[in-house]
Structure 1
Amino acid sequence: MTVALSPTLAVDLAAWPGVVLHIDAAGKVSASNGQLEARLGAPVIGRPVLDLLDADSSAAKWRRIVGGATRPAWELIFGTGEALLETGAYSAIPASEGDGFWLVEHPTPRRLTALAGEVTTINTELAATQRRLVVEQGRLAHALRELERSNAALDEFAHAVSHDLKAPLRGIRQRVDALLDPAASEPDRRAADLTRTRELAERMRQMIDAALAYARAGRVSDRIEAIDIGALLRDVVDYLAPPAEVTVDLAPDLPTIETERVPFEQVFRNLLSNAITYRREAAARIAVTAADAGARWELVVADNGPGIPESQQPQVWRLFHTSRPGDGTGLGLALVKRIVESHGGEIELRSTAGSGAAFHVYWPKHPARATGGSLER
């Protein structure tokens, strides 16, 4: 509330750092900005100003003010007995409307310092709020990027499923058409068509199961445990039971990591299985090593197999991609990449044709929460 104290002076009562009082013609306080009440701990509206001023030092000064004496500043003390306040410098300004005076306390360095402290506190709170907003904006931006990535993955997933499932469907339809052909009466031909139809249906079932497994691979649960990577990989190798000509070397310094066991094991079971499956005819050697990469562990599965030409490397991550006809569903590396990324990691392929392949898995040292979400909507 802004009050015109005189034709040339207006004061915002709420913002003024000192005491502001209006004393009416009867000598009573008729308006206040609340500063004096806060200091005295008592109401002042309606009370005679002489009851509020120190009788020994200030009452006589007030009588001089009322008598018409002027001075740039009056040293007044409010309060009585042991509740005296410190001396304040006040201007006594005749009211521009009606009778009486305005008493306006000059802000002292102490009051200004207190006000500055309040401003500093407000600025600190504003800065903290701004920092929180920046953090929230960062989270929203990250969530938006992840949503865009998830949508892109969903589009790729839908395209792969619709495209690759059409092949067995076409085969099934061709065989059914052949069976419905009246000319196809030879028992051997009918038996062959039925056998092939069953094979195509089984292939389609496998692809549907693979698609569901891929969709679910992006989920991250809270089932976190400490995993001895060396012990886990020894179990994986025992499970895969590689032939005698395959040597799997596990580094002795493989770390212990806190993560989900099942998806972590899936990643390395797929990588080791691929290295065993696509080995050279000669003796094959597979090595698993680990290196500290800051916030992540760099886990490398390297082999001395035929390698992957650079031109073919982008395709190995595609759902249903296989390098040779009949080599499963083509889910393996697509599933591996999805699991790794959904847990906040990355995977890289480094290979040249004829020189083996090395898959570098960068797995977070600390558990991550789901970033990609599930493709199931």
Structure 2
Amino acid sequence: MDSGNHLFNKTLFEICQAMGSSLELSEVLTTILDLSLRALEGDAGSILLYESGSDDLKMLASRGLPPKVVKRGHINRKGSVAEWVIQNDKPVIVNKRSDIFPDIKDEVPDASAVKTALCAPLHAKGKIIGVININRYVAENSPFAEEELNLFVILASQAAVCIENARLFEENVNHARMAAVGQTVAGISHCVKNILGGLFGGLGNLELACEIKDWTSVSRALALSRSSASRISLLVMDMLDYTKEKKIPIRQWMYPAKTIQEVFDICIFKAQTKRAVLETDIAMECTQIFAEPNQLFRCLLNLVENALDALPREGTVRVICKPLPTDEAQEIFGEDVADYGKICRLSVEDNGSGIAPEHLDRIFEPLFSTKESKGTGLGLAVTKKIVLEHGGRMTVESTLGKGTAFHMILPEINPSLGPQEVVNPE
């Protein structure tokens, strides 16, 4: 008896360990089943999930059952021991054939081979959520006793706790996912609404300016419309990139000055509205960089747009492209920094509001935005994703109330991709 209690206590301890060491429900339930079989000297068993209104019981874990039953993943509960346990809401011992079960229909390798069995209900929040079964086939094994059934009920309670915890975890994940989706949709909708407002406003101003032949206003209206159209395109591309797997960019030698100017042309209306100054500083060593032009354009547009949003009136946004100092390159890429070829740091700096220290660690998280409903939380996440796909790194420096600098560190060579084709710039 003492040895039996010792084994049972050891089993409970190991079950608690399993519950604390894994979040994978099937893994924990299989461990519980294995430990129960060991403690009760069973030959086969299963943990079955009950759903009201269904004729089947879903198999969450099993041992010693026919492969075809395991593969199917469920059993019919009508006429089974599990059915009786669910209807009567109490555990039971089945020894060979009994008065309670004259015609057992459980799906086991050979129903007549079941010498003795245990079946107990699984409870959660006062309701039956399933059953756990243990069978003995070997004739030499003694029938299950009432004492073993009592111990089995305790083991069943542990399985029920696991299932309920998994359900609660899944519910929380789903709620969090839906909340994130709702937040994203709200942010995207707000952005699209604002962009469309600018687009339609620009088109309206363009029509009016053409009627009165105010060519200066025509130019401003065109700039606003062009900027709005580009922002919609950027938003769509960000959403597409956010959902894509990592890809290898089609890189070529390109002139950053040309791309920066294209970004400034789109942002000029917003800059003029804020009386902001747009500046560039490109070192001779970085007049050409190795990148995918369209992707780099989107990165810069995201960063310059963000910088302008952070500016008070009459601020400055500066785009800088310079070689990365060797010591910094070694710190980032290691001692084999020479394998990366020329490394340029392309930065977007502003003297705006800055980013709060508590937000810096999350600034690149997908769907995280400091702009509340005005941002989607995709721009920086996608920008970092693109930079990483180039074999580079993305960093940020910020002082609250003084400004922010985002740095895209772009190596000429990504050693992890092997030899790369070189395309001359246009």
TM-score, with structure 2 as normaliser: 0.38
Q: Name whichever structure is richer in helix by fraction.
A: 2
Structure with higher Rg: it is: 1
* TM-score, length of structure 1 as denominator length: 0.42
